[in-house]
Structure 1
Amino acid sequence: MGLTEDHLIPLVDHGLGNSAYLVDLGDGRALAVDACRDLRALYAAARRRDLTVAFAADTHLHADFLSGAVQLGHDAGAIVLASASGQRAFPHRGLADGDEVDLGGLRLRALATPGHTDEHLSFLLLDGGQELGVFTGGSLIVNSAARTDLLGADRTEELARAQYHSMRRLAALPEATAVWLTHGAGSFCSAPPGTERTTTIGAQKRTNPLLAAPDENTFVKRLLAGRPAAEFAAGHIPGSLSIPLREQFATWLGWLLPDTAPLAFVIDDGQDPAEVVWQAYKIGYERLAGHLSGGLPAWLEAGGQAVGTAFVTADQAPDGPYLDVRQEAEYAAGHVPGALHLELGELAEHAADAPAGAVVACGHGERAMTAASLLERAGHTGVTVLDGGPAEYAAAHGLRLDTVDAAGAR
């Protein structure tokens, strides 16, 4: 059978930030994926279509909710599909890597994708030889990967390395393959918050900063560091300004925003609002309206919109205009040939001079993301931020850096 959007029913739990799925198999039966214990929405969707849940697949042992698969087995006789290595103590069909289940026209293939958990499976939905979509659970998610620290600090790096290989495996699927993830915005198991709850392999290859990592060590560093630039890129409130809460916070706050503006802050769990207050007070910024309780997930839960910004490595960056926002001395020491130079502190006043579709860059990516947020506030669209600096860009594009001497000669 051909699968259309009408056959796939996402069931979003906004409180937990997770998505379950009900797949209409076209013959009165359905497949449920990562159903939670509260089955009211799932059963309502099944009743509307006069469906019986014949299969209940779990991608992994969940840390943030109880599975509804056992109840589906009890109520509807559903066959529970789960990883054989998970050693679940209830009736289920244990699947290993490459095992397939005939759904009656469609097939479900188990792909071992450890990382979020040891026994994690992704489920590839196939129609003949065509890859329709993949249920990725807590492996590949929108612009990130789910956490690898839930089994303890002593396992975190090991699982992060496993996640690297799982992500690469999923990225090898055809670009048109749909990605149906479980952990989304607001999930305890998710990494950076985002606005999208489904995506495609191709979209993630273009925008996911973890898939852009050139090697395993870089991937692990990015995943475990939770870099502010990557989080802002994954999703942020339209018109917001990206200033990471770090030692230079007060400097950039004072340089980029007037002290007369009322300020509201979006901070992550674990960040101290008092630190924001003191950083602002010490430079005379006292019109502090507050901070967004619950952060971006709360904003999305309340119906607010969010946008993302492309954050790419040098080999993924287009050959278009290059905007360098570093300070003058950094620019003089080595810059991409033909780059337009506008220091970050002056960018707001000269945003109109920035070329459309520019690659915005600094030395690593943090200041460039701030610059991109300024440009977006000024109405620019299609901005791309370089995860790296001029040396990486030049090497990837076959260029040699230009320099400027003390007399201004190049």
Structure 2
Amino acid sequence: MFFQPYYLGCLAHASYLLGGANGEAAVIDPRRDVEEYIEDAKNAGLSIRYVIETHLHADFVSGHVELAKRTGATILLGADSGASFSHQPISGGETILLGDLTLSFLATPGHTPEGITILAEAAEQPSRLFTGDTLFLGDVGRPDLVGAKGLTSEQMAYMLYTSLREKILPLDDAIEVWPAHGAGSSCGKNLSNDRVSTLAVQKAVNLPLRLAMSGDEAGFIAYSVQGLSAPPTYFFHDAAKNKEGGASVGEVLRQARALTPSEVEERSEDGVLVLDTRATGAFKAGHIPGAIEVQLDGNFAPYVGAVLPPTAPVIVVAEPGRETEALTRLIRVGYENLLGWLDGGMESWKAAGGELARATTLEPGKLKALLEVGAAPTVLDVRTLGEWEAGHIEGAVHIPIAELNQRMAEIPQGPLAVICGSGYRSAIAVSLLLRQSRTDVADVPGGWKAYCA
């Protein structure tokens, strides 16, 4: 049995390539840019026969249609998905053979109605369970992302509870658990940084799984539906795109082109969003007026999705040489209205005499000193609810970054100091506030961690 796991850190997304002794392979939950799977299969002497989706994803656009088109593979998807692309519905209890490798399918609805889990077994290999977003390491999938079917979060949570009790918990404790996401994903609340575990370990450390194991239905449902942050708005856009099948990364990239400073200035004045992906220090030192900052080095795609409408026209500002990387990472989460990038980066903007806007900072120690004498600006905390409840500055205003655009009217007038956990999200928030002509805004570098040090 051939087995190759993949992990895309910026999306906390795991996908897998499995191959049997007969030279046939399957890819589970592929990301949108599929070249790596094709190349790795070729190098291993494998032909990709199946592309398997554990469910219709919401947090990224999958490469299932592109991969099937390029390899001739059949897409397998849980029954009753409603997907409009060509695929083979798969039901619980079905199996497929890839030489010495057997893939058995379990129907595990709950995160989504069509969710499936795949059990991979081969001689002299550990049994592996690919759980998608049903069972994570340390958590389970959130049940609140499916509204179109008319099912409540509580109804979906009950389905998830039943799936865990009837399909997963009876399996052998030694089975390896390989989920579709890790820490940093918005598809759950308490995901581990680990990539793999065993069912035995999860039974010991995974709170919602322990609730299901004990038969505490009410406790499991309460856990599943409480304390969930608002899903990023792009989730619903991506789920719909995955249901119909998206264009390839290459097709979208070909629409974008290098833009001169004058073209960028003209189009930004016409309402096109300028997305600045450089390091926060470079942004603060000088950026295009009205630009939104989301640093490429970090959880770039999820936070772009939290603050930019998924259909908005976008121009990218990047460090020279990283333009294609920035565009590709946007395309992975469904952004396709990409006009292009600032040719030559900010140096070309400056050389052309373009106007520069700047952002200020307020060091954590200085903020503490001002708070002690009652002279501090209003503190805006853009962390999640869980982070806020674990500790915050007294008197601060709390608006999670994903809700900031919709709740601007709630922010008091006057000077602001913006704080998050580490400084990544607060920098984004400052750029959004500057777009609203709030010039009296300062970022607290290092965030809550630095403030508490």
| TM-score using structure 1 length | 0.55
Three-state SS of the structure 2 residue aligned to 1:194 is coil
After superposition, the Cα gap between the structure-2 partners of 1:112 and 1:40, relative to the gap in structure 1 and judged at 3 Å, is same
- 1:123 is aligned with what amino acid? I
Which residue is 1:116 aligned to?
111
Which residue is 1:202 aligned to?
200
Q: Which moved more, 1:60-69 or 1:129-138?
A: 129-138
Q: Does 1:185 align with 2:183?
A: yes
Deviation, 1:26, is 3.2
Which residue is 2:218 aligned to?
217
Three-state SS of the structure 1 residue aligned to 2:160 is helix
- 1:170 is aligned with what amino acid? I
What per-residue deviation string (whole Å, max 9, x for no partner) do you get for residues 137-177 of structure 1?
01011011011100249610100111111122212110111
RMSD, aligned α-carbons: 3.7
Q: Does 1:75 align with 2:70?
A: yes
1 or 2 for the larger relative contact order (CA 8 Å, sep ≥6)? 2
Which residue is 2:155 aligned to?
158
- 2:181 is aligned with what amino acid? H
What are the within-5 Å matches in structure 2 for residues 136-155 of structure 1? 136-152=131-147, 155=152
Deviation, 1:80, is 1.4
Alpha-carbon distance in 1 for matches of 2:114, 2:184:
23
Q: Which moved more, 1:159-168 or 1:190-199?
A: 190-199
Deviation, 1:47, is 3.7
Three-state SS of the structure 1 residue aligned to 2:113 is coil
Which residue is 1:277 aligned to?
393
Q: 1:59 aligns with which of 47, 54, 57?
A: 54
Show structure 2 runs of 5+ residues with no match: 230-370, 373-380, 397-416, 426-453
After superposition, the Cα gap between the structure-2 partners of 1:293 and 1:173, relative to the gap in structure 1 and judged at 3 Å, is farther
In the alignment of these two chains, the number of paired residues is 255
Q: Does 1:103 align with 2:70?
A: no
- 2:218 is aligned with what amino acid? N
Q: Which moved more, 1:130-139 or 1:94-103?
A: 130-139
Alpha-carbon distance in 2 for matches of 1:195, 1:41:
23
Three-state SS of the structure 2 residue aligned to 1:145 is coil
Q: Does 1:85 align with 2:80?
A: yes
After superposition, the Cα gap between the structure-2 partners of 1:166 and 1:129, relative to the gap in structure 1 and judged at 3 Å, is farther
What per-residue deviation string (whole Å, max 9, x for no partner) do you get for residues 239-295 of structure 1?
xxxxxxxxxxxxxxxxxxxx99xxxx995368669x822269xxxxxxx99642458
Q: Does 1:36 align with 2:16?
A: no
Which residue is 2:171 aligned to?
173
Show structure 1 runs of 5+ residues with no match: 229-258, 281-287, 296-410
Deviation, 1:91, is 2.0
Alpha-carbon distance in 1 for matches of 2:424, 2:227:
18
Alpha-carbon distance in 2 for matches of 1:48, 1:87:
35
- 1:15 is aligned with what amino acid? C
Which residue is 2:240 aligned to?
none
Alpha-carbon distance in 1 for matches of 2:385, 2:30:
27
Three-state SS of the structure 1 residue aligned to 2:220 is helix
Three-state SS of the structure 1 residue aligned to 2:10 is coil
Q: 2:14 aligns with which of 12, 19, 32?
A: 19
What are the within-5 Å matches in structure 2 for residues 212-361 of structure 1? 212-213=210-211, 214=214, 215-226=216-227, 267-268=383-384, 276-278=392-394, 291=420, 292-293=422-423
Alpha-carbon distance in 2 for matches of 1:23, 1:130:
12
Three-state SS of the structure 2 residue aligned to 1:212 is helix
After superposition, the Cα gap between the structure-2 partners of 1:61 and 1:289, relative to the gap in structure 1 and judged at 3 Å, is closer
Deviation, 1:128, is 6.8
Q: Which moved more, 1:183-192 or 1:11-20?
A: 183-192
Alpha-carbon distance in 2 for matches of 1:290, 1:64:
25
Deviation, 1:83, is 1.2
What per-residue deviation string (whole Å, max 9, x for no partner) do you get for residues 195-247 of structure 1?
1122111110111011221311011112222499xxxxxxxxxxxxxxxxxxx
Alpha-carbon distance in 2 for matches of 1:290, 1:72:
42
Q: Is the 8 A contact 1:131 1:174 kept in 2?
A: no
After superposition, the Cα gap between the structure-2 partners of 1:8 and 1:277, relative to the gap in structure 1 and judged at 3 Å, is same
Q: 2:4 aligns with which of 5, 9, 16?
A: 9
Alpha-carbon distance in 1 for matches of 2:13, 2:423:
20
